[in-house]
Amino acid sequence: MTINYELEEREVGWNGILTAGFTDTWDVAPGVIGLRTLFVNTAFVSQSSTEWILVDTGLGNFAGSILHTARERFTSAPAAIVLTHGHFDHVGNLKELLEEWKGVPVYAHSLELPYLTGQEDYPPADPAVGGGLMSAASPLYPHRGIDLGADVHPLPEDGSIPGAKDWKWVHTPGHSPGHISLFRPKDKMLIAGDALITVKQESAFAVITQHKELHGPPAYFTTDWEEAEQSVRRLALLAPRIILTGHGLPVDGPELAPQLAHLCKTFKELSVPEQGRFV
């Protein structure tokens, strides 16, 4: 795995502060590129320079970074945009990208569609879970659903992913009802979304330093902890060799399997908050 640091044109980040646009990209595995938008990751999954999909769209106001990476690496628009779920930090650039890539379909789990068609809102974030500044600030995070209308479609029930023939989707609820992860069996590459992450997302210090630590989903938005634990176990049984998550750095190597086993064994102690609306 190689990490490339690219200095791009200035743009206004999610927090309204003028940033230098210093984004991280990772060549995570063959045909998999990760891009960090401030503190949220997106993924470019490709078969070739003309056949690819985008997984999640990151934090709002980073459409320029996504388009810049796409133009550098590919010669066409994506075949599809696939959403692991619809929280604000994973759909932040959808409107701008769909304006640029007219006609590109968006796919999500059927249980996530009410939040993507304007029918339902997510529950507000829960600052009572504690853990640091990111949790304390979570009431400021948007939680209302968006309306993609006819642009969004349910993923095929057979587990296939349009535009990504070697991949399958896995239902990993808990963080949200229709959360999915993406898995490529031939090399055991996992795109986990927020089912599990590699940073303690509740802590601003951990997020800023990108301290690598296998962890459960961001606590302030997770609504079903029993399902969240079962989803982590489901992913561990796939025995992934490389993981790109929605938050934090990619992980691989011989230490991954024991770390996953430890997370499964100690999930309640490591990841489930002691208090909160959904505990």
pTM of the predicted model, to two decimals? 0.91
Q: How confident is the model at residue 6 (pLDDT cuts 50, 70, 90)?
A: very low
Contact 88, 55 (CB under 8 A): no
The whole-number pLDDT of residue 59 equals 95
Q: Which residue has the higher pLDDT, 203 or 143?
A: 143
CA distance 80 to 83: 10
Give the list of residues 6+ apart from residue 277 with CB closer than 8 angstroms, or none. Answer: 123, 126, 128
Q: Length of the chain in residues, anyone? A: 279
Average pLDDT over residues 45-74: 96
Of 49-58, 235-244, 267-276, the one with minimum mean pLDDT is: 267-276
- Which two tokens mark 178? 């229709």
Q: How confident is the model at residue 206 (pLDDT cuts 50, 70, 90)?
A: confident
Q: Is residue 275 part of a domain?
A: no
pLDDT tens profile 254-276: 989 999 999 999 999 989 999 99
Q: Is residue 40 part of a domain?
A: yes
Alpha carbon distances (Å) from 158 to 54, 100, 109, 155, 163: 20, 30, 12, 9, 14
| Domain count for the chain | 1
Q: Which residue has the higher pLDDT, 172 or 2?
A: 172
Give the CATH number of the domain where residue 83 resides.
Answer: 3.60.15.10
Cα 34–chain centre separation:
10
Work out the burial of residue 188: count CB atoms within 10 Å of its CB; fewer than 13 is exposed, 13-18 middle, 19 or more buried.
Answer: middle
Task: Tally Cβ neighbours within 10 Å of residue 135.
Answer: 23
Q: Is residue 279 part of a domain?
A: no
The whole-number pLDDT of residue 22 equals 52
Q: Is residue 278 part of a domain?
A: no
pLDDT tens profile 165-190: 999 999 999 999 999 999 999 999 99
The sign one gets for the Cα dihedral 12, 14, 17, 21 is negative
Q: Which domain holds residue 240?
A: 2-270
Q: Which residue has the higher pLDDT, 279 or 196?
A: 196
Contact 208, 172 (CB under 8 A): no
CA distance 189 to 16: 34
Q: Is residue 23 part of a domain?
A: yes
